[in-house]
Amino acid sequence: MRISPRSASTRKAALAAAVSMTLLVGALTACSTSEPQPPAQDIQDGGEITIGAEAEPDCVDWISICAGSIWGNYILMAETIPPVFNTRLVDGEWTPVASSLVTEEPEAVIEAGKQVITYSINPDAVWSDGTPITSADFAYSALQIRDGVDIFDKTGYNLIESVDASDPQTAVVTLSTAYAAWRTLFSQFGLLPSHILEGQDRAAAMVDGYEFSGGPWKLDSWVRGTSMTLVPNENYWGEKPHLDKVTFLFLPDTTAAFQALKSGEVDALYPTPQADAISQIDAGLPGISSQVDANSGSVEAIWFNNQAFPFDSKAVRQAVAYSIDRQAIVSRLFGDLGIDEPLQSMNSPLVGAFAGDDFSRYSLDLDKVTELMEGDGWTRNGDDIWEKDGETASFTILIWAGNKRRELTAQVLQSQLKDAGIEMSIQATTPAEAYSTLVPNGDYQAGLWSIIDTFPTPSLSASFVSTNIPTEANDFSGINFVRADIPGLDDLLIKVDTELDTDARIAASLAADEIIADYVPAFPLQTVPNVLLWSDKLGGPIEINAVEGPFWNLEAWGLVG
Amino acid sequence: MITFVARRALYSLPVILVASFVLFWAVRSTFDPLAKLRQVNDPQAIQRAIEQMGLDRSIPEQYLIWLRSFVTGDWGVSSRTGTPVLPLIGEALWPTLQVAFWGLVVAVVIAGAISVFSAVRQYSIGDHILTGASYIGIAMPAFWFGLILIQTFAVWPREAFGLAEPPLFFIGLHSSGSSDPLDYLRHLVLPVSALMIALVATWSRYGRAAMLDALASDYVRTARAKGVPRRQIIWRHAARNALAPFVTVVALDAAVLLGGLVVTEQIFAIPGMGRLFLQSLVAADVYVLLPWMIVVAVAVVICNLLADLGYALLDPRVRLR
């Protein structure tokens, strides 16, 4: 699944982008600057720590729109909701790995054109009240998502024909057609306890938090606006937490959060790498360890409205791409973190195996701009701006108000484009306004935002397949916000979604990448690195997981003995 | 006095009603009440919401529906959190009231003292220093001063003296799970200081001018001629009269504080009204924004009323009007 602005198969970006939790990557070039993980330190059992969290989840019903809160995922969902697949780094690639919830890798076979997936449930797996996790929980979770209202994303679940829960230890799920990303099922949303929620209004039952847990931690308290506190789930069947309590303090102001880390009021931070955060890291933080990881799942790009002037012209889109010095932008933004390579695919590094490097053809080349614009009938006017049929090559780009990194990016873009004879103005708006009206209605020319992959499977179809253009026909629910209808692309991206053979999927994805780079419906800039900072009094292993966040192994954290 | 209060309260009602309609119209015209729902791929949900909230009706009709619910305590449900708005605002109001209250109390005391000192010792070195300091205080951005305070009283002492924890905290109003008064005090000092600096700077200017006027008045001259002791002249005759315009300024600023602590609450991670406003604004949560504005508008009216009462107490002639 990809967290992009709104719903459909890839989304989560609405809120993710809203809170600017765009954690990005440099190129797929493995420009990861992660420092080598120090050997596990001696840590003691017991003690409490406090972690600064940039954003508070608005709500915690993880299959509704609450799932859009990336911080909610990090600090509560990942600690309490059991998934079938975890994401782990295997041979340098982020890969779905079966969790301890199941006894073996689930089996998926095609029978009479339908896909049948069998999950064998670990008999040791229990909820925090001691009730075993059974196939009934699979059935409940699947049907809540498939048939429920206000569900965040039904992709994949809408293909479920039946869930056989006759054997409590085995869940058999039948999909109507082949679904390549089947591992996302019960992984991104995990499982909910049927014995607690069945027959209840789920959203109401979970509105102020929940007591159940199928993970190593459970929610102890949630003081809205202030903090969320976790304590160990004594009935967890896996590794038990070393710490007695973890409190997440909600600190929206980055500068104050850094001061809190330095003063010892918090023990760890996972800040969005805005300019001020980077300067603080660059200046040095005594007694603080850090990890910078460029191998994230987000793609920050310029998104063109392909049906709006002047981006209804392929030549103009390409000319813009040749007008921008992406390397300079990335160096300016993240050079202090050792990251300076732009992204060369609309696929994030999280799905690096599916990504080509076709956008590498675009580097600053003003002669090429002239060739493309003149070839498309444009001429320079007295102000040295391209003009055609009385209209100048001018456009407005949407950015999110308050996001300093994007403000800076837009200012640099503005300057670079001016040199190439293209005028750009900047319009600050809120993600809510953009994703609810401006963007789906096509009332924009270009925008600067991120999409985030939340599972290591490619999902560009939602953003670029023509049937996903928001229209009255689909109740404006599609998220092909660039309104692209590119010859030959739909078939390839659909093949990526449905083909079960990995090699064939990769081949289709690479071919799609090439077409996307040629038509430039959007222009990738960079991935935003993930940054984790922690006090030296903490021991681990402490390491960023590009998908599950920095706290994916919080149970292994402890105070250094 | 009771008649005076009742009359002023009655005058306030139409003001609040007009303000609430203008705010309702402005919010509904500016924000999409369905913005959050539109992020979910469920057209039926949107249709349901339109029917439930009467969004297909005219603005005056919608206002009447909303007003009826509002006055009966049904303030709706936040589209951001899915929780009822009334407790959400109530929970946010309490921390803001605490910071605002202590900020006002401390600021009034300090500004009052500075005003009297500067007026009594006009053009002395002390007066010049305080005047210069007040201009710095007025010019200093709250967020910058807040960060300076944090660096000076929390970060630096811990680093310099190797303390296990900072002498003053700056995250929230108490440590997690703590109800220790000392812990509360250690959390309160920095946000209250950040808040009051601009207030003290501004109010001390008003106060100084008012005191100078009072000290130059005929009744003070008469009192001096009659041999009234200097202390009594300053505090009983001059300060009391100078207080009247000062009260109005304090009351108006107090009302603004209830909704205007955005920067202070953001820096010090205080879950108050300012932060709630910011969160709701970003999420286009009209269900919170509108009642929030009404609460602040009512606070302004109440503070005005209190200012009038204060004025009346200080100047008996006001009651006769």
A437 interfacial to chain B (CB closer than 8 Å)? yes
A427 interfacial to chain B (CB closer than 8 Å)? no
> Considering chain A, what is the average pLDDT of its residues?
86
Of the partner residues A7, A11, A250, the one whose CB lies closest to the CB of residue B269: A250
Q: In chain A, what residues touch B43 (CB-CB under 8 Å)?
A: 475, 477
Q: How confident is the model at residue A32 (pLDDT cuts 50, 70, 90)?
A: very low
Complete DSSP assignment for A166-220: EETTEEEEEESS--TTGGGTTTTS----HHHHTTS-HHHHTTT--S--SSSEEEE
Peptide bond connecting A440 to the previous residue in cis, omega within 30 degrees of 0: no
Q: How confident is the model at residue A414 (pLDDT cuts 50, 70, 90)?
A: very high
More confident of the two residues A487 and B284 = A487
Q: Kindly report the backbone phi and psi dihedral angles of residue A396, in degrees, each rounded to the nearest multiple of 5, phi listed first.
A: -115, 135
| Contact present, B312 and B318 (Cβ < 8 Å) | yes
Residue A17 confidence (pLDDT) above 70: no
- Mean pLDDT within A13-23: 33
- Name which of B153, B150, B114, B110 is nearest B132 in CA terms: B114
Q: How confident is the model at residue A28 (pLDDT cuts 50, 70, 90)?
A: very low
Element (H, E) at A43: strand A43-44
Mutate to test the interface with A, among B29, B30, B31, B39 (most CBs of A within 10 A): B39
Residues 6+ away with beta carbon under 8 Å from A372: A315, A316, A318, A319, A322
B160 interfacial to chain A (CB closer than 8 Å)? no
Contacts A–B by Cβ distance under 8 A:
152
CA distance A410 to chain B (A): 20
CB contact under 8 A, B158 and A253: no
| Residue matched to tokens 């001429």 | A379
Residue A24 confidence (pLDDT) above 60: no
Of the partner residues A14, A50, A264, the one whose CB lies closest to the CB of residue B39: A14
CB contact under 8 A, A65 and B166: no
- Name which of A372, A343, A377, A376 is nearest A360 in CA terms: A343
Angle between helix B59-71 and helix B2-30 axes, rounded to 10 deg: 130
Those of residues 353-372 in A touching chain B at CB distance below 8 A are none
CB contact under 8 A, B92 and A225: yes
Q: How confident is the model at residue A509 (pLDDT cuts 50, 70, 90)?
A: very high
pLDDT at B111: 93
Of the partner residues B151, B166, B176, the one whose CB lies closest to the CB of residue A227: B176
B269 interfacial to chain A (CB closer than 8 Å)? yes
CB contact under 8 A, B91 and A225: yes
- Mean pLDDT within A297-312: 93
Neighbours of A67 (CB within 10 A): 26
Q: In chain B, what residues touch A475 (CB-CB under 8 Å)?
A: 43
CB contact under 8 A, B170 and A68: no
- Which tokens hold the place of B273? 């009204």
pLDDT at B5: 77
> 3-state DSSP call for residue B176?
coil
pLDDT in tens, B104-123: 999 999 999 999 999 999 89
| ipTM surpasses 0.85 | no
- Measured CA to CA in angstroms, residue B265 lies from A518, B238, B273 at distances of 48, 37, 8
- Measured CA to CA in angstroms, residue B2 lies from B219, B306, B309, B320 at distances of 30, 13, 10, 13
Q: In chain B, what residues touch A256 (CB-CB under 8 Å)?
A: 146-147, 150, 170-171, 266-269
Residue A30 confidence (pLDDT) above 80: no
Exposed e or buried b per residue across B304-315, where buried means at least 16 C-beta atoms within 10 angstroms of its C-beta: bbbbbbbbbebe
Between A312-321, A368-377, B228-237, the lowest mean confidence (pLDDT) is in B228-237
B149 interfacial to chain A (CB closer than 8 Å)? no
B84 interfacial to chain A (CB closer than 8 Å)? no
Q: In chain A, what residues touch B164 (CB-CB under 8 Å)?
A: 264
pLDDT at A36: 42
CA distance B37 to chain A (A): 8
CA distance B9 to chain A (A): 34
Of the partner residues A153, A256, A264, the one whose CB lies closest to the CB of residue B269: A256
Q: Kindly report the backbone phi and psi dihedral angles of residue A538, in degrees, each rounded to the nearest multiple of 5, phi listed first.
A: -95, 140
Residue A486 confidence (pLDDT) above 60: yes
* pLDDT under 50: residue ranges of chain B: 320-321
A247 interfacial to chain B (CB closer than 8 Å)? yes
Closest chain B residue to the Cα of A259, Cα to Cα? B155
Residue A11 confidence (pLDDT) above 80: no
Element (H, E) at A96: strand A93-98
- Measured CA to CA in angstroms, residue B315 lies from B112, B119, B218, B221 at distances of 18, 21, 17, 20
Q: How confident is the model at residue A175 (pLDDT cuts 50, 70, 90)?
A: very high
A58 interfacial to chain B (CB closer than 8 Å)? yes
Residue A153 confidence (pLDDT) above 80: no
CA distance B223 to chain A (A): 54
- Mean pLDDT within A192-205: 91
Residue A35 confidence (pLDDT) above 60: no
Q: How confident is the model at residue A499 (pLDDT cuts 50, 70, 90)?
A: confident
Between A26-30, A325-329, A450-454, the lowest mean confidence (pLDDT) is in A26-30
Between A133-137, A334-338, B81-85, the lowest mean confidence (pLDDT) is in A334-338
B277 interfacial to chain A (CB closer than 8 Å)? no
Q: Number of H helices and number of E strands within chain A?
A: 16, 25
CB contact under 8 A, A436 and B41: no
Those of residues 239-268 in B touching chain A at CB distance below 8 A are 266-268
Those of residues 97-116 in B touching chain A at CB distance below 8 A are none
- CA dist A203 and B177 (Å) reads 27
CB contact under 8 A, A436 and B284: yes
- CA dist A318 and A314 (Å) reads 6
pLDDT at A552: 93
Element (H, E) at A88: strand A85-90
- Mean pLDDT within A210-233: 94
- Mean pLDDT within A52-65: 87
- Measured CA to CA in angstroms, residue B244 lies from A296, A449, B313 at distances of 61, 54, 9
Across chain B, where does the E strand assignment appear? none
Of the partner residues B40, B170, B272, the one whose CB lies closest to the CB of residue A7: B40
pLDDT at A16: 37
Percent of chain A residues topping a pLDDT of 90: 56
Q: In chain B, what residues touch A263 (CB-CB under 8 Å)?
A: 150, 154-155, 158, 165-166, 170
Q: Which amino acid is at B88?
A: L
- Mean pLDDT within A76-89: 94
Element (H, E) at B199: helix B181-215
Residues constituting chain B:
321
* H-state helical runs in A440-488: 461-464
Residue A9 confidence (pLDDT) above 60: no
- Name which of A545, A40, A540, A534 is nearest A266 in CA terms: A534
- Mean pLDDT within A364-379: 96
A207 interfacial to chain B (CB closer than 8 Å)? yes
pTM of the predicted model as reported, rounded to 2 decimal places: 0.79
- Measured CA to CA in angstroms, residue A547 lies from A24, A34, A53, A349 at distances of 11, 15, 17, 11
Q: Kindly report the backbone phi and psi dihedral angles of residue A475, in degrees, each rounded to the nearest multiple of 5, phi listed first.
A: 55, 35
